[in-house]
Amino acid sequence: MRSDHLTALAHARDTAVPATAVAHPNIALVKYWGKRDEHLVLPRVDSLSMTLDILPTTTRVCRDPAAGRDRVTLNGRPAAGEALRRVVAFLDLVRERTGLAHRAVVDSENTVATGAGLASSASGFAALAVAAAAAYGLDLDATALTRLARRGSGSAARSIFGGFVVWHAGPDAGTVAEADLGSHAEPVPVGDLDPALVIAVVDGGPKAVSSRVAMRRTVDTSPLYEPWAVSSKEDLTGMRAALLAGDIAAVGEIAERNALGMHATMLAARPAVRYLAPATLTVLDRVLRLRDDGIPAYATMDAGPNVKVLCRRADADLVAGAVRAAVPGGSVLIATPGPGARLLAGGGR
């Protein structure tokens, strides 16, 4: 099997065979916010997420030995500006590792609104990592793929795996190589938990401040950042225990306080970064009322105004109905734990 695989990879290096990969977004229950190394994308804190079963990204990569530049299409349109720059920089990394200088044709279809805090960069760079590694004949196991995906967008490291996933910040001391090696994602054991995330899309438009810029500003200027990073460590320990115990209320409480704390760090940045909109607070109020009514429902928000409500799968329709009524202009989706990134059969290996 193994030698067949290596033969296929060697073949892939000689002939420009396309590779297509699918990856799903993930939503963090203990957030990644703040980098300690921007180039290597090493985070300040460990984070933990759930990979979703909806909103996949499908990405096809084909080397083009004759081309003078990379050609990238996102949702049928040629990519330009920052989006193109990030994909080309990522491909450069793959080229550096393989010694293959070929440019590539990249075609990516996202089912989720890009740049709206709905984790499109997570599914996008996870799919690109898997497809580009295969197209360039780079033989990486899943753990190594999480390190590669991390370089495109930090949260993408977690989308390589399905279900619940932790992304280790990695060691602070030691060499650059040790830090890079230690900052990888891995699946987290979960007990008897049957969760759903109800996603309230209150605004699908792109965010005003990119998460990259917002993180940097928060770390550099927010007096609340360090206390949050410290409490986040406790949140991670508590979250692992709550997941193992299948305790949805404990999972939800920790997720909600971790997310609100993250947004507090941004609100205290100078100048403030505020992703939360009036409709976000309307959903948060509705979630509190659901809890008053005895339904375990807990909110989390990322770099955007949209709210993801964690609840039991059995309550998902009820929670979705309550959220839909609270924000009539928005749309509501229900997600459950989904699979890790994968290469499509016949996609180049």
Q: What residues make contact with ligand PMV under the rule CB under 6 A?
A: 28, 31-33, 47, 121, 153-155, 211-212, 302-303
Give the residue with the Cβ less far from ligand PMV, 46 or 253.
46
Give the residue with the Cβ less far from ligand PMV, 86 or 286.
86
Q: How far is the CB of 271 from ligand PMV (least distance, A)?
A: 18
Q: How far is the CB of 273 from ligand PMV (least distance, A)?
A: 11
- Of 214, 208, 327, residue with least CA distance to 278: 327
Q: How far is the CB of 244 from ligand PMV (least distance, A)?
A: 21
Contact of 25 with 120, CB cutoff 8 Å: yes
Give the residue with the Cβ less far from ligand PMV, 31 or 63.
31
Give the residue with the Cβ less far from ligand PMV, 153 or 183.
153
Helix residue ranges, H only, the chain: 2-14, 81-98, 120-135, 142-152, 156-159, 176-182, 211-221, 225-245, 248-267, 278-292, 316-326
Collect all residues with Cβ–Cβ distance below 8 Å to 119 and sequence separation of at least 6: 25, 26, 27, 52, 55, 112, 155, 159, 302
Contact of 333 with 18, CB cutoff 8 Å: no
Give the residue with the Cβ less far from ligand PMV, 16 or 28.
28
Give the residue with the Cβ less far from ligand PMV, 31 or 349.
31
| Distance (Å, whole) CA 324 – CA 308 | 12
Q: How far is the CB of 12 from ligand PMV (least distance, A)?
A: 28
| Distance (Å, whole) CA 28 – CA 1 | 36
The CA-based dihedral angle spanning residues 266, 267, 272, 277, taken in that order and rounded to the nearest 10 degrees: 100
Q: How far is the CB of 78 from ligand PMV (least distance, A)?
A: 22
Coil, helix or strand at residue 278: helix
Q: How far is the CB of 212 from ligand PMV (least distance, A)?
A: 6
Q: How far is the CB of 264 from ligand PMV (least distance, A)?
A: 13
Give the residue with the Cβ less far from ligand PMV, 32 or 136.
32
- Of 26, 29, 40, residue with least CA distance to 232: 29
